[in-house]
Structure 1
Amino acid sequence: MTSGVTATVLALAVTPLLTGDLAQYELPFWAWYPYKTRTSPLFEIMYLYQVICVFCIAIISLNIDLLNMALMMYVGIQCDLLCYDLKKLNNSKKDFNINLIKCIKHHKKIDSFAKHSNVFFNEILLTQFLTSTASLGLALFQLSLVDPLSLDGYTIVFYVLCIITEIFLYCFSGNEVECKSSKIPYSAFESDWTGAPIEAKKNLLIFILRTQKPIKMSAINLFSLSLETFTTILRTSWSYFAVLRQVNGQA
């Protein structure tokens, strides 16, 4: 993903050099400045400034994405560990209930951590998904206006692939959390509970009922991160692209 972001920024940066726009003092990115940028050395300074700024913004955005994904991966790993501990519960009258209580406390910590993590990045997710959906539709429309085998076409393709990869990794990480947390009640039932005391069986039953609802990562509770959401975003972006192409054809 890092290499994809770097390649996209470099492609955008060198496009004016290879297309001849540099001789016309065309900057790599559209921007307005309160002074003339078509004179040397202001043009060279602003050219370098744009490339460095866009690269820094891309790296910062990438690090934020990786942090959010790492938090979700951590929740998924903790769910795997909890499932492993639940399956190892034996029917010892004393140890079963003690170890079960430890597993219950572990699940509470996992659920609390997941909720706090979700609060941390749910607004980021909402903004990211809304902008990515619109950007993907616009990028596809722009790709339809240029030669796909040209330098501009390759640059847009790199950009589209980066957006799709970013959305997919978010949705895949959230989907893994939901799938792994949904296995917790089954793992609890697979434990050797038949010879456990009545109190332990009651605690186990309550725990199984409590964990029937899997942990879901969402964007302000509007939609959950899942592979279904990923396909929905792609369909929405394609719909935007189709509308833009139809409007452009009628113009």
Structure 2
Amino acid sequence: MFAQKIISWLEQLEDPRNPLLGPNIKILFLFGIWQTGDTKLRNKLFNIIHVSTAFFVLSQFIDLYKQRNDFNKALNNLSLTSIGLICCTKCFSYVLRQPQWQKLAANISEEELIQIKFGNEKVIKKMEQYKLYARVVSYLYWGLVLMTNVVLIGTPMLKLLISETYRQNIKNGKEEYPQIMSCWFPFDYNKMPGFVYSSVVQIFMALQGSGVLAGHDANAISIMTFMKGQMQILKEKCANIFEVKENEDPKEVLNRIKECCRHHSFLLQQSELFESLLSPVMFLYLMICSMAICCSVVQFSSDEATATQKLWAVQYTIAQIAQLFLFCWHGNEVFTESIVVDQGVYASDWWRGDLRQRRLVLLLAGKLNRPILYTAGPFSNLTVPTFISIMKGSYSFFTLFSQMQEAN
């Protein structure tokens, strides 16, 4: 019964106007970073929330500075502050560059609707395959973000609820009230009712931030999946250029060549637009993620860290590695597919064409020989080697820290 309700809810996210990106757009709209012209009041309210989120992250940096002498608390705060900074960056990336994101989504949906209307069985089958893949990855990623959020909110509250000794120590002034996220408030949040007010704000910010994170990342991964799937479709189109049917007009071969050129130009245009939107955000994300993973590993290995802090460090590290891997893996998949798409031309019966057709096919092969490589700023590429390099760097940092602890 519960599973059926979840499936029913997920089916409601589908949008026939956006065959691939329907659920992603609805999640982005739910958390206020996909804004339409007919919801101006709603947009203003969410923009106030987004600005408030930025001030909340600033308060986390203030608290981080205050806790600079407490190593474990500072590490815990740093991991949470980095999440807040990443969420703010991704949030404002959508809000400030809303026309570009909407144009990209509209172009992708329009291309898919045209292909569905054309009715080619092989193309529709390939579209269904990458659509299903995008759904599975998106839903699993949303589940991971939800689980991380539950651990973040539930762990400190669970300690307060189940430990009578802890509650008594709070009453006696020996312990402080547990905070979901380390941040600064202009009131005393270690006493009632300040603790309740701060908890409500922190829970709301955690839910909003996780929603923004889940929506942004799942949408980006779905777009990468679209690029990969469409290049596979283009490769198949190229292989079928000289597939002559009975009583077919000879000009149909030229039409297929034109369609392959148009399709490839479309993919290049959308990739360049997507790259311009994603690259600055991923540049900041890779730097913060590398630092955050190192800090989490150090915190977990520290003898002074509490069980709660170690639990959070494990969950946070897993989530960060999974998030980083998804971006690098799918970026690598797009790159790999882009460098073999021209093989479709050589797999065709090009030798059956006349001189003009063979010249055009040769030009098409040269046009297709253009790799698509997504970057994270000017220094890193979203590829599997980049992911491995970050993991190696984190392990080297952990090894160095362990040796320093043994020496002391």
TM-score by length of 1: 0.91
Structure 2 CA distance for aligned equivalents of residues 250 and 211 of structure 1:
57
Q: 1:143-154 counterparts in 2 under 5 A?
A: 143-145=300-302, 150-154=307-311
Classify 1:10/1:146 alpha carbon distance in 2 versus 1 (closer, same or farther; 3 Å): farther
Do residues 226 (structure 1) and 383 (structure 2) align?
yes
Amino acid in the other structure paired with 2:180: P
Partner deviation per Cα, 1:168-207 (whole Å, 9 max, x = no partner): 1101111111122122111111111112121221121122
Q: Equivalent residue for 1:197?
A: 354
Provide the residue aligned with 2:213 in structure 1.
Answer: 61
Q: Which runs of 5+ in 2 are unaligned?
A: 1-140, 161-165, 171-175, 245-249
Contact 1:91 1:195 in 2 (8 A): no
Aligned mate of 1:237, from 388, 394, 399: 394
Residues 48 and 91 (structure 1), Cα distance of their counterparts in 2 relative to 1, 3 Å cut: closer
Query: 2:211 corresponds to which letter in structure 1?
Result: I
Name the counterpart of 1:170: 327
Q: Which one-letter code corresponds to 1:103 in the other structure? A: C
Instruction: Tell me the equivalent position of 1:104.
Output: 261
More divergent stretch after superposition (94-103 vs 241-250): 241-250
Question: Is the Cα–Cα contact under 8 Å of residues 4 and 158 in structure 1 kept in the other structure?
Answer: no
Counterpart for residue 365 of structure 2: 208
State which drifts further: 134-143 or 41-50.
41-50
Amino acid at match of 1:142: Q
Please give the TM-score of this superposition, normalised by the length of structure 2. Answer: 0.57
Structure 2 match to 1:123: 280
- Secondary structure at the counterpart of residue 72 of structure 1: helix
Q: Return the alpha-carbon distance in structure 1 between the equivalents of residues 276 and 329 of structure 2.
A: 19
Question: Is the CA contact 2:299–2:305 (under 8 Å) kept in the aligned structure 1?
Answer: no
Deviation at residue 7 of structure 1 after TM alignment? 2.0
Deviation at 1:120, TM superposition (A): 0.9
Which of 47, 59, 84 lines up with 2:199 in the alignment? 47
Equivalent residues, number: 251
SS of residue matched to 2:183: coil
CA RMSD of aligned residues (A): 2.2
3-state SS in 2 of match to 1:55 = helix
Partner of 1:28: 180
2:146 matches 1:6: yes
Shift of 1:248: 4.6
Segment drifting more, 151-160 vs 99-108:
151-160
Deviation at 1:71, TM superposition (A): 1.5
The CA deviation at 1:149 is 10
Report the AA paired with residue 268 of structure 2: D
Q: Contact conserved, 2:185 with 2:198, CA < 8 A, in 1?
A: no
Deviates more, 1:27-36 or 1:73-82: 27-36
Farther-moved stretch of structure 1 (149-158 vs 1-10)? 149-158
Residues 15 and 151, structure 1, Cα contact 8 Å, conserved in 2: yes
Give the aligned residue type for 1:81: I
Q: Structure 2 counterpart of 1:42, which letter?
A: G
User: Which string of whole-angstrom CA distances, capped at 9 and with x for unpartnered residues, describes residues 64-122 of structure 1?
Assistant: 11111122111111101101111111165532222112101111111111011110111
Q: Secondary structure at the match of 1:194?
A: helix
Unaligned runs of 5+ in 1: none
CA distance in 1, matches of 2:407, 2:186: 36
1:14-58 superposed Cα distances (whole Å, 9 cap, x missing partner): 323344566332312222222211110111110221122122112
1:133 aligns with 2:294: no
Give the structure 2 partner of residue 15 of structure 1.
155
Percentage of identical aligned residues: 19
| Distance in 2 of aligned mates of 1:72 and 1:30 | 35
Letter in 1 for 2:330: S
